[in-house]
Structure formats: structure tokens, C-alpha cells
Chain A
Amino acid sequence: MSEMSKIVRTISSISFPLIIIYGLYIISHGHLTPGGGFQGGAVVASGCAMILVAYGSIWTIGKMKEKNLSLLESIGAICFILLAIFGLGFGAVFFNNFLVGSDFLFGTIPSAGSTIANINTGGVIPLMNFAVGIKVIAGLFAIVLVMAHASSTREGKK
């Protein structure tokens, strides 16, 4: 895939940070507002795919190797499973929410009913949202990047 015109490149590089911030907001507020790791990760990966379409796959693969993306995805998966195993170690069962009610991190319990959203709640759920978010960002962007790079090299050989 070759790069597109200068207008497209300028507009996409202006709107890219806004898309990234919106996706990270959806990931980090997954325990308060609709959304979560999967949805926010899809938003961020769509922004990265827009940059890929605007700048071309050769420029993008010079900035971000697909090897690093698969490493990042594995790190997300390992963090997710480690959090589940920590539930087995510190709590009672696999996937136990051992942080809720503690003073450490994300431990506050909101009062019942509709309350003002407090980001310091949710126990292990925000951390799992971050892990799944990293995993989805890296996974989806790696798929798009590898497909675009494979098609561009085949066109070059013709």
C-alpha cells in the first residue's frame, strides 16, 4: 500500500491523537461507563489502521515492527492470566476479585444505588481491562499491518 495524498495524511495525523485518547478513555473507564477492554482496544486499533491507510504500510512498518506487536499481545495475555492466578493465590478461587475492599488499589466499594462514578473502584476489573485492552490493540493492529505489508510486497514484485 503506498501513501495517500497530503490532505489525507494531514487530517489523519490531526485526528489520530483524539482517537487514541478516546479509546484509552473507554479502556480506563471500563468499570464505570459502557465499554471496556475489547471495545476501547478496537477503537485504538481502528485509529492505527487509519494511519496505516494514510501513510502506507512501508512507512508504518518502519515505525512499528509486527514482532513488537505480537510481543505486546503476549504481554497482555500473560497479565490477564496472571491476574486470574493471583485471584487463586490471594483469594479463594480462580478469577476471584481479591482487590475489592482492600486499601491497596481500586479498592473502594461504592454505596448501593446510582452514585457518582468513582474511578478508584472495581478491584481487579480495571487492571483486567487494561490487560485485555493492550492485547486487543496489539492483536488487531498486527493483523491489519501484516495483511497490508504482504499485499504491498506482492504488488512490488509485479
Chain B
Amino acid sequence: MSKRNFAAVVFFLVIAVFFFFSALMMHPFGVPEKADMDDEIIKGVQIETGTNNGVTSVVFDYRGFDTLGEATILFTAVAGVIMVFRRLKQ
């Protein structure tokens, strides 16, 4: 067995053991996790942000930085595509 194949087998075994034990440690199906943050948001969403739609208030208010990152990603994608295809047009 060459050195490369040996390294591949060792890597495969490590990944397999990792996945096996993480499958054993998964929490049982149908039992919800403890959800303090969810209860807090559901209780306070109408008083704190004044919206009836909880999802939008999480996206634009509680997790505003995430939306800012998404908007930046969209802006970068549009700028890249326009740059590439404007060069192609000429």
C-alpha cells in the first residue's frame, strides 16, 4: 500500500468514526430543544418591533446585520456580473 492510499484510508476512518458518534449523540426525534430565545422573540415581537410578521422582524430588526451582509453579497454579485459582461460586449 502506497503512502497516499494509507493516508486516504486513515482520513476515511477518522471521518467515519466522527460521523458515527455524532449520529449516536443526536437528540431524539420529535423532542424539541430548549427554546428560550424563540419564546423571547415570539413574546416580544409585537411590542418591541410593532410588526405582526415575526419572520420579517427577525430578518430586518433582530438580525439586521445578517440582512446587511446579504445585501452586500447581492451588490457584489451584480457588480461582478455587469463588469464581466460589459467587457464581453465590447
- Interface SS of chain B: helix
Give bound CA distance, A128 to B63, whole Å.
13
**In the assembled complex, which residues on chain A have CB atoms less than 8 Å from the CB atom of B53?**
30-34
Size category, B interface: 20 to 34
Q: Please name all residues of chain A whose beta carbon is closer than 8 Å to the beta carbon of B52 when the two chains form the complex.
A: 31-32, 110, 115, 117, 121
Q: Are the CB atoms of A143 and B56 closer together than 8 Å?
A: no
| With contact pairs A31-B56, A34-B55, A150-B89 given, residues A95 and B82 touching in the complex (Cβ less than 8 Å) | no
Binding site for A on B (CB under 8 A): 46-53, 55-57, 59-61, 64-65, 67-68, 70-71, 74-75, 77-79, 81-82, 85-86, 88-89
What size tier do the contact residues of chain A reach? 35 or more
Chain B residues near A121 (CB-CB < 8 A): 50-52
Measuring CB to CB, which residues of chain A are less than 8 angstroms from any residue of chain B?
30-34, 36, 38, 66, 70, 73, 77, 80-81, 84, 94-95, 97, 100-101, 106-113, 115, 117, 121-125, 128-129, 132, 135-136, 139-140, 142-143, 146-147, 149-150, 153-154
